[in-house]
Structures are given as structure tokens and as C-alpha cells.
Amino acid sequence: MNNQIPEVTLHDGLELPVIGLGTYALNGNEGATAIQRAIEENGYRLIDSAYNYENEGTVGEAVKRSAVPREKLRITSKLPGRYQTYDKAIKTVQESLYRASLDYYDLYLIHWPNPKQDHYVEAWQALIDAKKQGLIRSIGVCNFLPDHLKRLEKETGEKPSINQIELHPYFNQEQQRKWHEKNSIKTESWSPLGHGNDILQQVTIQQIAERHQKSAAQVVLRWHYQLGAISIPKSANPDRQLENISIFDFSLDDAEMNSISSMTKPDGRINDQDPAVYEEY
Ligand SMILES: NC(=O)C1=CN([C@@H]2O[C@H](COP(=O)(O)OP(=O)(O)OC[C@H]3O[C@@H](n4cnc5c(N)ncnc54)[C@H](OP(=O)(O)O)[C@@H]3O)[C@@H](O)[C@H]2O)C=CC1
Ligand SMILES: O=C(O)C(=O)[C@@H](O)[C@H](O)C(=O)CO
């Protein structure tokens, strides 16, 4: 797909690059231009989006403007909580495709489990069926805890290819990552750089960056890669986009990996969104 970015193969056979572009708040013409530049100039092939970001059209426009063939790209979107009943979920996948002017999504994820609402199993059945209809190549989830994941497989016989979860140095998700690995589910990190908080300014990160002559963001993204997670840093800025994807010419040793992982804290979530209780519509 792209010679410079390593790829991983999901349990259903879909290949994904280990770094993609987050697109939260990339909307309209400015967003489309930023995404197009990420694809054409900076080598991004995996693009994350969501129905709730109101930017599936923006992503579709960037794909249309880009000279990179559609089949080389991996486009993701996500099903919102308010459309998790079966019929609504099927129609939402169709609407997501219309919005992006795409014939298929490479990856479509349930955005949050919303356990109180308790429709995520029928939403999952809808994604299974949409995949059978050729509307989606690979299906996954975000923010699912092991109990939610177990239930999907028990009740439908199919498990997600990916679980996109909050993961950054303040919240390293060690247990959840181990569980994914044991169950052949790929971990994808959201807010991998901490969504603009102070992670990149921390002395631990700054010292490692200095040692390797890399930026703080590159050190953090290299940490994700060595943990075995796909990360989707968002940047509207072409220089930072390139910086974020240029992490394959150095490596962190065990002590460096451990010191970054040790920055994690019990209350390290950015917005206190615990999927056991948080519901998003
Ligand atoms: N499934 C889910 O529930 C969720 C999914 N997501 C997905 O994950 C993506 C990434 O997470 P997001 O919350 O956007 O946060 P990120 O951790 O990707 O951080 C983005 C912020 O960091 C800045 N930044 C990017 N690169 C650099 C750099 N090299 N040096 C310094 N600053 C930098 C960006 O500014 P600038 O643009 O100016 O460069 C922006 O302010 C989202 O865009 C979305 O696609 C996010 C949250 C929840
Ligand atoms: O950005 C996303 O994908 C989300 O799920 C949001 O909930 C995000 O975490 C947020 O905006 C929180 O305020």
C-alpha cells in the first residue's frame, strides 16, 4: 500500500497502516484541504472520521480531490449511539456512504457501547449484515470493555477486528491492550497525543526526544507503535502531519518505553469518559 509505513493485518484480512489521520474538527473546505494534503503530500492512507464529526462529506471530498486511487486508501467512519437499533444502524451506514460519496467504507466502528441504552449487540448485527452486503470491508468498535466485547462474540459469533480506545501516556490501557492481544483484536489509539493537553511538554518525553533528536510528538507516536497500537494523530498542519508519520527511523529502548508507560495515572482520561457508564448520542 505505502512503502514507508508499516502495515498490520486484521483478523479478517484487511491490511492497515500503523498510523492514520484523526479528523475530529477537520470540516469544510479547510478540512478537505488538510486531509487531501495528508494523503497526497504526506503519505497518509488511513483516515478516521465519524458520523458525529459531521465530516464524512469533507473526507469524501478529500478522497475525490486526491490523485491517490481509492483502493489504496482506508477510510473509517463510526455509528453514533442514537442510531444503534438494527434498522437505524443499517440506514446510518447507508447515509454515511451517501455523505462521503463512497461505495464502501474500509472500516466502520460502533462509536460507543452505551451500555445503559443496551442496543450495541443489534448495532453489531447490523454491521455484520452491512459487511455481507459489501458496504463495509471490516467492522469494529470503539471504547468497548472486555465484557462488551465478549457479549458481541457470544451473541453473534463474530468479533470486532479493531477496538479504538483512549490511549496515550497518561492512560496506557495495559490490561485492555493485553486482552485485545489475547483475543486477536487490534488496538487503535484515539487522542494518541493527548488532544492538546500537556503530555508533550512533560520532562520525561522532552528528555527522550532530545536524546533521539526527535520531536515530543514523534516520541509519543513511536511509543504507540512499539506498544503494537495503530494511532490516528490529528493535525490540520502539513508540517506536523509529516512529522507525525515520520517515526520509523529510530526506536525506543525498554527503559524509555517503561518510563513513558509509567506516566499513566488512574484519573488519566482526558474527559473522564469511562465506557462502563458514559453514553454518547
Ligand atoms: N472513537 C472515539 O471515541 C474517539 C476518536 N477520536 C479520533 O482520534 C483522533 C485523534 O485524537 P484527537 O482528540 O484529535 O487528539 P490528538 O491526540 O491527535 O491531538 C491533536 C492535537 O495535537 C496537535 N498536534 C498534532 N500533531 C502535533 C505535533 N506534532 N506537535 C504538537 N502538536 C500536535 C493538534 O493541533 P494541530 O491540528 O494544530 O496540529 C491538535 O491540537 C481524532 O481526531 C478522532 O479521529 C478522538 C476522540 C474519541
Ligand atoms: O471525538 C470522539 O470521537 C468522541 O467520541 C467524543 O466524545 C470526544 O471524546 C469528545 O468530543 C469529548 O468531548
Q: Which residues contact 13 (CB under 8 A, 6 or more apart)?
A: none
Our CA dihedral for 272, 235, 247, 179, rounded to 10 degrees, sits at 30
> What's the chain's average pLDDT?
97
Residue 2 has pLDDT above 90, yes or no: no
Coil/strand/helix, residue 191: coil
Q: How far is the CA of 164 from the centre of ligand 2 (A)?
A: 12
Q: In the predicted model, is pLDDT for residue 18 greater than 90?
A: yes
Question: Is the Cβ atom of 271 under 6 angstroms away from ligand 2?
Answer: yes
Per-residue confidence at 24, pLDDT binned at 50, 70, 90? very high
User: Given this model, what pLDDT does residue 16 score?
Assistant: 98
Look up the pTM and report it. 0.98
For the Cβ of 50 lying below 6 angstroms from any atom of ligand 2, the answer is yes
Instruction: With both helix axes pointing from N to C terminus, report the angle between 28-40 and 56-65 in degrees, rounded to the nearest 10.
Output: 50
The number of angstroms, rounded, from the C-alpha of 1 to the middle of its chain's C-alpha atoms is 18
187-213 residue pLDDT tens: 999 999 999 999 999 999 999 999 999
- Pocket probe for ligand 2: among 112, 190, 232, 270, the residue whose CB has the most ligand atoms within 8 Å is 190
Residue 249 CA, ligand 2 centroid: distance in Å: 32
The pLDDT value recorded for residue 41 is: 97
For the record, the C-alpha cell of 168 comes out as: 496515550
- Residue linked to cell 488532544: 195
Q: Is 87 exposed, middle or buried (0-12, 13-18, 19+ CB in 10 A)?
A: exposed
Q: Please compute the mean of the pLDDT values over residues 35-62 and round it to a whole number.
A: 98
ipTM (interface predicted TM): 0.98
* Ligand 2 pocket check for 280: Cβ under 6 Å: yes
Give pLDDT, residue 4: 80
> In the chain, which residue ranges form alpha helices assigned H by DSSP?
28-40, 56-65, 86-100, 120-132, 146-156, 174-182, 203-212, 216-227, 238-245, 254-261
Strands 46-47 and 74-79: parallel
Q: How confident is the model at residue 3 (pLDDT cuts 50, 70, 90)?
A: very low
Strand order in the sheet with 186-190: 46-47, 74-79, 105-110, 136-142, 162-166, 186-190, 230-231
pLDDT digits (tens, 9 = 90+) for 249-273: 999 999 999 999 999 999 999 999 9
How much distance in Å is there from the Cα of 112 to the middle of ligand 2? 10
Q: Is the CB of 23 under 6 A from ligand 1?
A: yes
Mind listing the pLDDT tens digit for each residue in 122-175?
Answer: 999 999 999 999 999 999 999 999 999 999 999 999 999 999 999 999 999 999
Among the listed residues 236, 229, 237, the one whose alpha carbon sits nearest the alpha carbon of residue 257: 229
Per-residue pLDDT tens over the stretch 224-250: 999 999 999 999 999 999 999 999 999
Q: Phi-psi region for residue 111, left (φ > 0), alpha (ψ -120 to 50) or beta?
A: alpha
* pLDDT score for 1: 41
CA within 13 Å, CB half, 224: 33
- Nearest ligand 1 atom to the CA of 168 is 17
87 to 103, 127, 142, 144, 197: CA distances (angstroms) = 20, 11, 20, 22, 39
CATH class, domain 7-196+228-239, is alpha beta
User: If we measure between CA atoms, which residue out of 219, 245, 255, 202 comes closest to residue 43?
Assistant: 245
- What is residue 40's predicted lDDT score, i.e. its pLDDT? 97
Task: Check: CB of residue 73 under 8 Å from CB of residue 45.
Answer: yes
